[in-house]
Amino acid sequence: MRDRMKAFFMHFDGEYAGMLVHGKTRGIAKMRFMNEALGNGEYADVRGWRIPGLDDKPITYKNAKDAGFEYTEEHDEEDTALPESMFDNNCFCDICRGVK
C-alpha cells in the first residue's frame, strides 16, 4: 500500500501565480514545486496551503473544482476563473502520471 499523497497549492511568497502539486509531506510538495517552477526563488520563500479534496486524486480541472479550487486571473481588479482549456497539471507524481 502506498503512502497517502496530500495536495497543496504552492507559490512563491508575494507572487500571485502558483501550482497544484502532491507530496507525502509539505516539504516534498515544496521540492516538486521548486523543480517545476518557472522562475527563480528560494526554498524558504515557497508558501502553500492544503487542498484536502485533491488528496490521492489526479490533479484535473474537474477534480480541482470539486475540491473547491479554481485558478483565477485578475481582470479589471476582479478575479475571473480560468477556462478548462488553460488548466495544466504540472505535478509529476505517480498519481498524476497514472502510475499505479
Which 8-state DSSP code applies to residue 96?
A: H
Q: Which pTM was predicted?
A: 0.84
Q: How many domains does the chain have?
A: 1
| One-letter amino acid for residue 68 of the chain | G
- Does residue 82 belong to any structural domain of this protein? yes
Q: Cα–Cα distance between 96 and 8 in angstroms, integer?
A: 13
- Does residue 39 belong to any structural domain of this protein? yes
pLDDT digits (tens, 9 = 90+) for 83-96: 888 888 888 888 99
Q: Cα–Cα distance between 87 and 25 in angstroms, integer?
A: 24
- Does residue 1 belong to any structural domain of this protein? no
Q: Cα–Cα distance between 67 and 17 in angstroms, integer?
A: 19
- Does residue 51 belong to any structural domain of this protein? yes
- Does residue 34 belong to any structural domain of this protein? yes
- Does residue 60 belong to any structural domain of this protein? yes
Output the CA–CA distances (angstroms, integers) from residue 12 to 72, 84, 97, in the order listed: 16, 24, 24
pLDDT for the residue 10: 93
- Does residue 23 belong to any structural domain of this protein? yes
Q: In terms of residue numbers, what domain contains 25?
A: 6-97
pLDDT digits (tens, 9 = 90+) for 32-67: 898 887 566 788 899 999 999 999 999 999 999 999
